[in-house]
Amino acid sequence: MSEQIGELLPPPRLMLTPGPSCVDPRVYRALATPLVGHLDPWFTTMMDDVQVLLRRVFRTENRLTFPISASGSGGIEAAVVNPLEEGDEAIVCINGWFSERMAIIAERTAAKVHRIEAPYGRPVDPEDVRRVGRGKKVKFVGLAHGETSTGVIQRLDDYRKVADELGALLVVDAVATLAGVPLDVDRQRIDICFSGAQKAISAPPGTAPITVNARTEEVLRGRKSKVQSWYFDLTTTMNYWGKERTYHHTPPVSLIFALREALRLVLEEGLEARWERHRHNQQALVAGLEAMGLEFFVPNPADRLITVTAVRVPKGIEDLKVRRQLLDEFNIEIAGGFGPIKGQIWRVGLMGFSSQFNNVLLFLAAFEKVLLDQGFHVSAGAGVAAAVRASLKPQSVAIGERK
Amino acid sequence: MSEQIGELLPPPRLMLTPGPSCVDPRVYRALATPLVGHLDPWFTTMMDDVQVLLRRVFRTENRLTFPISASGSGGIEAAVVNPLEEGDEAIVCINGWFSERMAIIAERTAAKVHRIEAPYGRPVDPEDVRRVGRGKKVKFVGLAHGETSTGVIQRLDDYRKVADELGALLVVDAVATLAGVPLDVDRQRIDICFSGAQKAISAPPGTAPITVNARTEEVLRGRKSKVQSWYFDLTTTMNYWGKERTYHHTPPVSLIFALREALRLVLEEGLEARWERHRHNQQALVAGLEAMGLEFFVPNPADRLITVTAVRVPKGIEDLKVRRQLLDEFNIEIAGGFGPIKGQIWRVGLMGFSSQFNNVLLFLAAFEKVLLDQGFHVSAGAGVAAAVRASLKPQSVAIGERK
């Protein structure tokens, strides 16, 4: 009966996408560690470790810091449906697919949602937020720190300032930035911040770390109605991840094992060293792509996300053919564009375990071969040469150099 | 900085709980298989395998059959929030913690919810459903096939009959039954059926298989409002798991690898053989517990769930002390009671890879030792002897006897 469906034999891919990233062997080992029960006293004590590690990575003292049992999009839902209820007004800054997702989810609550849009490839102007919010009782200002779909980073301090003026919570999607790009939840006074495990943390997908400060806890306690999602209700989930460890739902034990190990790796490397590694490898990538004659999707270099680099698909070249050949010939996966920019951009992710100088060199060499095959002229070796030059000072940082 | 948090070293537990169950080594190997991306053509093709396998295990031809990226409780939420909206009436049959959860989630929708309750330990009377539903336009009759919190099974055909009379969808929580107890989604005409991976399927927790028939798809297409949860919205998720494979959210790739392997194991054994193994081992357990002088929580033997057996904590014995000693001395985990029956029952799960005659014998021997230590009189060897006698005919079925 099941004869047709054989052994699991996936190809050995190098994932240079905006997630999932490649995963350190130590994390796979943790992932495959035989399970214990989610109410086992050993497990409920081990949950403390995960919370301590997450607080260090988020740079926060927030009590309510834990991994949600869902993908990063589940993180968005939790961040949105918990604070918002009938009578509230929310501002969502939209400059791509994932920040728009935040608005779409907010619009499924009873709150009134104001969309503030920027063209894809640019940050949202904080002045627009100020203008729209003026005179309104805004409870929530939401945005993506790094917009994965376009490769744009936004300067959180500017939005924090406006949110302060409006008296609003600042809600930040750090799915593409946490552990890859400087972020300091407490110093930057982010009220709700969430991420995904499968990006710069480089754990397998399926958990979404979130942290919520005391001010937000107060807001949650003051809700007049029940949170519309039972699964993502922080007011009850926090009893399981809080001191009480009261059963809520069965968490993905194996993924939490893996997340714990991935967080240990982040802290063994050190957050600053990790940010620097991401910056360094991305600069080499950018130098290589530029030397190959490719055009960046984000016009202003200061707006470019370190973890995801978007380049335009050159005229006359077919997006899918290039990506397919990279996969088939080199087992390298990069991503395309979503929605309105589908077919127009490629996105190269260098996050966590995937952010290695070795990968940059291999990718540029393979990409050159594929682009030549597909009819785009690249001068031989230009990308790799430029990446090597860009990496000369300071020295490149090899992964695995752990103390 | 992270010095204090060392290597992941969980104790090697034998989980005889209502989930997570122990996991076959083949499933751990699949779990730790290096990731591929969720939009990789290899992965989107492999998703077909998972859907084919799930259809066989659910015994359905339903197109919309896939694992939700969440725990079993996420399955409840998906099953509830998708069909229900303002103006609808729903009946939820409550005879324990998890069927009550279905009602609690339904009450967070705009639908009117009728709770029909039975005492813990008993099934809900289908006649009560008929009586309450009469004259109403009921859209949804929901219940737990196996109520994990009390160890009660309910006869689906009785509720199907009433739901037919009312013109309602039959929505079945099969978290504790799928792959362990006879269930046939198409023959029994269940409109929405969901389960959890970590029970009788014996994959790690974190995915909730669901199947939805054409009639329900029609209901979803006819909704007047958006589903209140974006994450659990089947009308959009089905585009990723449908022919289009349109990106929705990043699924937990590793857990899907593991689920695929666990489903292969289910079908290699054969569903009927698996049901029989579960029945056989539970009968041995029941014989052993009875011989030890323990009292069953579910008075009517015909109402007892094969996968989860609930016994009363004897007078004068402390629930937690017994469970703690079982863990500390034998690395065996069983569960206690939730809510109103906290401290009053023990629940022994024999599901999937945990349902082995070896485990029954070991558990009964260890349990005897612990109960004696805790002051409950058991005549020496009575439990094990009774279990062995109960297993004599037909022959016990050892796991691992795969063709």
CA dist A257 and B191 (Å) reads 36
DSSP B164: H
Q: Where are the alpha helices (DSSP H) in A107-252?
A: 126-133, 156-166, 214-221, 234-241
Among residues B109, B102, B103, the alpha carbon closest in space to that of B87 is found at B109
Written as six digits, the tokens of A394 are 């300071």
Between B37, B107, B261, which is nearest A17 by CB? Answer: B37
pLDDT beyond 70 at A394: no
* Mutation site for A-interface testing, chosen from B1, B3, B4, B5 by largest number of A Cβ within 10 Å: B5
What's the CATH code of the domain at A300?
A: 3.90.1150.10
Q: Residues B321-340: pLDDT tens digits? A: 999 999 999 999 999 998 89
Written as six digits, the tokens of A95 are 């400059």
Based on the domain organization, do B226 and B341 belong to the same domain?
no
What's the CATH code of the domain at B94?
A: 3.40.640.10
The reply to whether B11 falls in a domain is: no
A33 and A39 Cβ atoms separated by less than 8 Å: no
pLDDT beyond 70 at A391: yes
Torsions phi, psi for B238 (to 5 deg): -65, -15
Give me chain B's average pLDDT, please: 95
Q: A29 or B4: whose pLDDT is higher?
A: A29
Q: What confidence score (pLDDT) does residue A403 get?
A: 40
Question: Please, which residues 306-325 of chain A have a Cβ atom closer than 8 Å to chain B?
Answer: 324
Say which residues have a Cβ less than 8 Å from residue A194's Cβ, sequence separation at least 6: A68, A72, A75, A76, A78, A79, A172, A173, A174, A175, A208, A209, A210, A211
Q: What residue type is assigned to position A331 of the chain?
A: N
- CA-angle at A390, arms to A387 and A393, nearest 5°: 135
CA dist A131 and B60 (Å) reads 55
Mean pLDDT computed over A96-101? 97
B56 to chain A, minimum CA–CA distance in Å? 9
CA dist A180 and B31 (Å) reads 26
Based on the domain organization, do B141 and B284 belong to the same domain?
no
Based on the domain organization, do A99 and A189 belong to the same domain?
yes
Nearest CA in chain A to B337: A247
Q: How confident is the model at residue A401 (pLDDT cuts 50, 70, 90)?
A: low
- Taking contacts as CB-CB distances below 8 angstroms, the residues of chain A near B49 are 5
Based on the domain organization, do A161 and A301 belong to the same domain?
no
Question: Is B262 buried (19+), middle (13-18) or exposed (0-12) by CB count in 10 A?
Answer: buried
Among residues A199, A213, A224, A259, the alpha carbon closest in space to that of A87 is found at A224
Domain boundary among B236, B267, B298: B267
pTM (predicted TM-score): 0.97
pLDDT beyond 50 at B403: no
CA dist B70 and A228 (Å) reads 17
Which residues are A157's β-sheet partners? none
Check CB contact under 8 Å for B108 and A229: yes
Number of domains in chain A: 2
Q: How confident is the model at residue A221 (pLDDT cuts 50, 70, 90)?
A: very high
Between A13, A104, A229, which is nearest B37 by CB? Answer: A13
Nearest CA in chain A to B1: A267
Based on the domain organization, do A214 and A314 belong to the same domain?
no
CA dist A83 and A232 (Å) reads 12
Based on the domain organization, do B301 and B231 belong to the same domain?
no
CA dist A144 and A129 (Å) reads 14
Number of A/B CB contacts below 8 angstroms equals 256
Question: Please, which residues 35-64 of chain A have a Cβ atom closer than 8 Å to chain B?
Answer: 35-43, 46, 49, 52-53, 56
Domain boundary among B210, B237, B267: B267
Q: What confidence score (pLDDT) does residue A173 get?
A: 98
The reply to whether A173 falls in a domain is: yes
pLDDT beyond 70 at B360: yes
Domain boundary among A244, A267, A290: A267
CA dist B203 and B32 (Å) reads 13
Among residues A81, A133, A73, A71, the alpha carbon closest in space to that of A106 is found at A81
Per-position b or e across A123-154, b if 16+ CB within 10 A of its CB: bbebeebbebbeeeebbbbbbbbbbbbbbbbb
A206 to chain B, minimum CA–CA distance in Å? 5
Cis peptide before B394 (omega within 30 of 0): yes
Range of the domain at A335: 270-391
A72 and A175 Cβ atoms separated by less than 8 Å: yes
